[in-house]
Structure 1
Amino acid sequence: MNILIKSATIIDSRSEFHNSKQDILIENGVLSKIGQHLENPNNYREIELENLHISQGWFDSSVCFGEPGFEERETIVNGLNTAAASGFTAVAMQANTQPVIDSNAAITFVNSKAANHAVTLLPVGALTVNSMGEDLAELFDMKSAGSVAFYDYKKSVSNPNLLKIALQYASNFDGLVCSFPQDDKIAGHGVMNENMTSTTLGLKGNPTLAEELQIARDLFLLEYTGGKLHIPTISSAKSVELIRKAKQKKLNVSCSVAIHNLYFTDAALIDFNTHFKVLPPLRTQDDIDALIEGIKDGTIDMVTSDHNPMDIEHKKIEFDYAAYGTIGLESAFGALQTCFSTQKTIAILTQGKSRFGLKETPINIGNAVDITLFNPDKKYTFSTQNIRSKSKNAIFENESLKGTVYGIISNNNIELNQF
């Protein structure tokens, strides 16, 4: 693959060309030259786009693609195409399929479906057999096949001894154990944040206490085992504080937050729109402020779209019975840019790679090309026309967002959107 990119502003704090406008010559998938006014004697394909910016390829630590078993929601190939169109060069795929991804063979199947794509798929294996929370899955075998972490997606590990054993066992091969932060007995049948809004709407509440109790328990277990823990999609101010103190104690813990939990409060549920039914639920403005502060001070390690396609049969029903989840890859960049500066947004989108075993590739001469191309300034209203996923359950539908993606160049492949 040989390409000449013209007049691109480089946003990459690890690059010597950070914050400068350069031409970039790519030869055989490698950044061979970076400089101003580069010539093109070999007549390579040229890319010159309006207000073009590039950065290291973006990473999402939690996406769901459905396949195998739920192909009506999404397939691996279309999911990866959606990720590419949204600017992501690597995504960690969750195990909530049918059958559940809980074995070496299942990891191998997923990797085979994603072979030779521009987007690198990082499979997350289930923590327990069939994600039932009873017996540990084949963690070492899955790690050997390419699993980057172990997580029963959106399912709590109710048995503390099971999590203790998982942390101890996985530490033998540097395995990353994930624990969903919710005490199910406290959460009960709650479908939204427990406060005045849930009372007004007559919906059962899921209090932040359910999240915070589980996190406190998991951190005590981590301190005992000395393992490696990731807490996905936290949502409350107290959760941020608990993890901040754990990091001050040098515990090996990381965490993430979903983009929609930085953007919407529980007041968005006033019309009972099931697009806003997510887990953890949307919280309050005070929680959002604390989460944003946690991102700024490094307590929160990464932000995820928590992309979870869901077919209309599971969404267009009564709120109490609707499935949790929203798609988020397509809106991730534009939504983050309404909360942060472009520089901070790019830093967020390129964080977390090493935690999931992915090597970073700064935009420097001699490195393999792994870049995202984008225009940070274009404003638009997110609509169904912006959705590439098979499912259309988009929490950001009709929201005013900022910044569009041109495409990616990665794995010796180029994927550009049509404009």
Structure 2
Amino acid sequence: MTIEVPKSIDINVPNSESVQRISKSSKNGGVQSAVMMPTIKPIFDKLHLAYNLKRANESKFKLLVAIEGIHEGKLTDISILKDKGASAIYINSDEDMNLLKRVFEYAEFLNIPIFVNCNNKSLSSGIMHDSEIAYSLGVSGIPTYAESAEVAKIYELSKHFNAKVVFQSITTKDSIQILKNKPKNIFIDVCIDNLYFCDENLQDFNSLYKTFPPLRSKEDKEALLEACASETVDFISSNHIATTHKDVPLEEAEFGISKLDIFTQLAYSLPLSQKTVTKLISQNPAKLFNIKIKETLILKKGDYDVDISKFESKGKNCPYKKLSFQIV
């Protein structure tokens, strides 16, 4: 028995590999279009933007490119870059507050969404979620307030503007609590890894589960799933990061989990209704960027075994390969 679902729009694909690989992996994973985030390599000027858009055109793939709003402590040419094809702005929350304010002013005036990585870098030098598990492994942890304190700050700033603001890759129940009564111009994005896994998966020093933002507690995971079910969360995205440096000690391993090749399949395997998943990975992203979903994907009900040998991504850093799960 099969189900037919709309293809997805992945709103968080860091530029960890070439546009060609991203396009091929997206097609594997039932992703009609993706938003490239400049979190691995900079995209802050016309040259960087044009290069990525050209490669996407060559690959015949609908790539939406987010540009840095602030680069090396200076405001970028947001208006010019939007005219040249930028689809979104990306910023880190711990930049200078006056610069953040300027970015919000531009975003409101130009009607372009802002994606905010809410993370205090000075508190985030650890390996994994700050918990008893991290302590037992003898590794440094990343506290939940490294995120939630920044969420509170950006939320307060957001309330003074009509810009569309996406709180990207939220991981904690505290952040959800802060944002639960958000106005219509504010959106919550959650990475799919944080809906499947928690810090317990790292108990055996398994570097495949080392990612950023980190996998949080089981309680946080359940809170995120509940927020998805109630549609407090607006988007589920992949945060697909292709790395090759994983077969090393946990402290030395790179952050990131590869899963763009199976993104839509994974989403419909979550303990959420089909209607909810469709909203969070297809309808809501399409509405944010005013694009149409023209294609569908056929999924076979029952067991689904992940075969990483078929990944188009260069990253085989995928813990999902050990799972056999139900498409519900």
Q: TM-score, normalised by structure 1?
A: 0.73
- Give, as a single letter, the amino acid of the residue that structure 2 aligns with 1:79: I
Match of 1:400 in 2: 324
One of 68, 78, 81 as aligned partner of 1:126: 68
| Contact kept in structure 1, 2:14 and 2:39, CA below 8 Å | yes
Displacement after TM superposition at 1:348 (Å): 2.6
One of 61, 77, 88 as aligned partner of 2:11: 61
Q: Using the alignment, how far apart are the partners of 1:376 and 1:358 within structure 2?
A: 30
Q: Using the alignment, how far apart are the partners of 2:40 and 2:210 within structure 1?
A: 20
Q: How many residues align?
A: 327
2:101 aligned with 1:164, yes or no? yes
What is the correspondence of 1:348-387 to structure 2 with a 5 Å cutoff? 348-354=280-286, 356-361=288-293, 370-387=294-311
Q: Using the alignment, how far apart are the partners of 2:37 and 2:88 within structure 1?
A: 9
Q: Using the alignment, how far apart are the partners of 2:278 and 2:289 within structure 1?
A: 20
Task: List structure 1 segments (4+ residues) > 6 angstroms apart after TM superposition.
Answer: none
Displacement after TM superposition at 1:354 (Å): 4.1
Q: Using the alignment, how far apart are the partners of 1:195 and 1:280 within structure 2?
A: 15
One of 244, 247, 254 as aligned partner of 1:316: 247
Displacement after TM superposition at 1:150 (Å): 1.1
For residues 19-69 of structure 1, the C-alpha deviation after alignment (integer angstroms, 9 at most, x for no partner) is xxxxxxxxxxxxxxxxxxxxxxxxxxxxxxxx4543333110011344xxx
| Contact kept in structure 1, 2:15 and 2:38, CA below 8 Å | no
2:153 aligned with 1:210, yes or no? no
For residues 237-281 of structure 1, the C-alpha deviation after alignment (integer angstroms, 9 at most, x for no partner) is 111111112x1xx26211200001001010000121222111111
2:26 aligned with 1:83, yes or no? yes
- Tell me the SS of whatever aligns to 1:114: helix
Q: Using the alignment, how far apart are the partners of 1:96 and 1:289 within structure 2?
A: 27
Match of 1:344 in 2: 276
What is the correspondence of 1:16-27 to structure 2 with a 5 Å cutoff? none
Q: Using the alignment, how far apart are the partners of 2:310 and 2:176 within structure 1?
A: 33
- Tell me the SS of whatever aligns to 2:318: coil
Q: Using the alignment, how far apart are the partners of 1:393 and 1:165 within structure 2?
A: 38
For residues 321-379 of structure 1, the C-alpha deviation after alignment (integer angstroms, 9 at most, x for no partner) is 32211112123233331422334333332133245423234xxxxxxxx1122224041
2:160 aligned with 1:224, yes or no? yes
- Give, as a single letter, the amino acid of the residue that structure 1 aligns with 2:74: D
2:134 aligned with 1:198, yes or no? yes
Match of 1:237 in 2: 173
Q: Using the alignment, how far apart are the partners of 2:304 and 2:3 within structure 1?
A: 18
Displacement after TM superposition at 1:89 (Å): 0.6
One of 250, 258, 264 as aligned partner of 2:197: 264
- Give, as a single letter, the amino acid of the residue that structure 1 aligns with 2:102: I
- Give, as a single letter, the amino acid of the residue that structure 2 aligns with 1:61: I
- The structure where helix makes up a greater share of residues is 2
| Contact kept in structure 2, 1:382 and 1:401, CA below 8 Å | no
| Contact kept in structure 2, 1:376 and 1:402, CA below 8 Å | no
- Give, as a single letter, the amino acid of the residue that structure 1 aligns with 2:265: G
Match of 2:90 in 1: 151
Q: Using the alignment, how far apart are the partners of 2:317 and 2:290 within structure 1?
A: 29
2:16 aligned with 1:92, yes or no? no
For residues 191-212 of structure 1, the C-alpha deviation after alignment (integer angstroms, 9 at most, x for no partner) is 1111111111111111111111
Rate the CA distance shift 1:354–1:341 in 2: closer, same or farther, 3 A: closer
Identity of aligned residues (%): 23
Q: Using the alignment, how far apart are the partners of 2:31 and 2:266 within structure 1?
A: 15
Q: TM-score, normalised by structure 2?
A: 0.92
| Contact kept in structure 2, 1:309 and 1:392, CA below 8 Å | yes
- Tell me the SS of whatever aligns to 1:330: helix
- Tell me the SS of whatever aligns to 1:303: strand
| CA RMSD between the two structures | 2.1
2:81 aligned with 1:142, yes or no? yes
Q: Using the alignment, how far apart are the partners of 1:343 and 1:357 within structure 2?
A: 20
Q: Using the alignment, how far apart are the partners of 2:262 and 2:35 within structure 1?
A: 17
